Amino acid sequence: MDLDTVIYLAVYGTVTGLPVFIQNILNCVPKMNKAFKGLERHGDKYLSGGMCGHDREGSPVWYDVIGPLDPKGMTHSASKQDLIKSKVRDCEILQKECDLQSERLGRNIESIVMVYDCDGLGMKHLYKPAIETYGEILTMFEENYPERLKRLLVIKAPKLFPVAYNLVKHFLSEDTRRKVIVLGSNWQEVLQKYIDPEELPAYYGGKLTDPDGDPRCRTRITFGSEIPKTYYVRDSIKVDYEQSVTIGRGSSHQMEYELLAPNCALRWQFTCEGADIGFGVYKKKKMGEWMKASEMKEIVPNERYNAHLVPEDGSLTCPEPGVYVLRFDNTYSIFQSKTVSFTVDVLLPSQVNQSER
């Protein structure tokens, strides 16, 4: 199963037993786009968050440091799918730590604690494409790790926090919302109620430091920073697309590919001018017969992509022969037509095997 297929299944919850095959993501991280890999190599500067210590019951604690994050830079430097891949991987790292803790303590450790440091939360964090991406990450977490969250502790929340929370809380189940605890000025005292000072970074009121004495424990928690524009994908990656089409407002564009052998693959790249565009993959029985999306079998669920910010790329291994339809969707746009530039490749099984080496 190729990485992008794994991600689609993970995000849309179409397969049970996610942790069994999520190892594909951990093994296939090198397939992420080059710009995002660059960010990861310098993660201590640009990304944010990390696992550090355990609560008093032995559950892993994950810290997300919101203030230094550069949401606009993130969405310009990595595709939405790459950001989701990164978070799925983080979730699985936490799952592995739960398994290790269960072995160490001789009892089941099945949930995690999250600490959200909201110091510095501001208007830049309300950047719409970033909010939409974060919403999909929350949806993925809800659908595939529903019982993993023990509690989420919000500290140093500014006056803007209720506004930010209202933008994303509809992605959360009622059960998850009940686990969100916004702490007041005594947040250090409350953190120690849940986390022993020996397991709590000194920066957050505990006694834990890095070997070099760093109170922030930055070997385990990254604090992020503004992302240089040199990492922006749209400005740094120039792709020569094979085709271009203008899709009118309220319309869609379909491309048919007949795959005659099992285990062929479709590979695509596309960008859009001016605004986002919907994209999905479908299957039908006959070539040349136009059908509505609702009349075809949905293979990759239709989703809106910010391809005007970051070019999108993906692939799909097709275990069954048939007619596959790649569909660009602009039916939701009442006023604006979209120009999409794209390249689609069909890979035979032998080529698929070579590309995975």
Residue 5: pLDDT band with limits 50, 70, 90: very low
d(CA 268, CA 59): 41
State the Rg of the chain over Cα. 22
The model's confidence at residue 234, banded by pLDDT at 50, 70 and 90, is low
The CATH number that domain 238-355 falls under is 2.60.120.680
pLDDT of residue 38: 54
**CA distance linking residue 191 with residue 56, whole number of Å:** 11
The helix/strand count (H/E) of the chain reads as 13, 14
**Nearest 10 degrees: Cα torsion 167, 42, 98, 184:** -40
Instruction: Write the pLDDT tens digit of every residue in 22-65.
Output: 444 444 443 444 445 555 554 446 778 999 999 999 999 999 99
If one compares 143 and 39, the residue with the highest pLDDT of the two is: 143
Residue 2 dihedral angles phi and psi, to the nearest 5°? -75, 160
* Alpha carbon distance 290, 305 (integer Å): 24
pTM of the model: 0.65
**Extents of the domains making up the chain:** 3-231, 238-355
Rounded distance, CA 305 to CA 187, Å? 38
What would the pLDDT profile of 62-76 be if each residue is shown by its tens digit? Answer: 999 999 999 888 888
Structure tokens at 52: 């550090």
When pLDDT is cut at 50, 70 and 90, the band that residue 15 belongs to is very low
Query: Residue 325: CB partners within 8 Å, gap ≥ 6?
Result: 254, 255, 256, 257, 281, 282, 283, 284, 291, 296
Q: 205: number of CA atoms within 13 Å, CB side? A: 15
Average pLDDT over residues 140-165: 89
Structure token digits, residue 172: 């959360």
What class is the 3-231 domain?
A: alpha beta
**Tokens 């926090």 — which residue?**
161
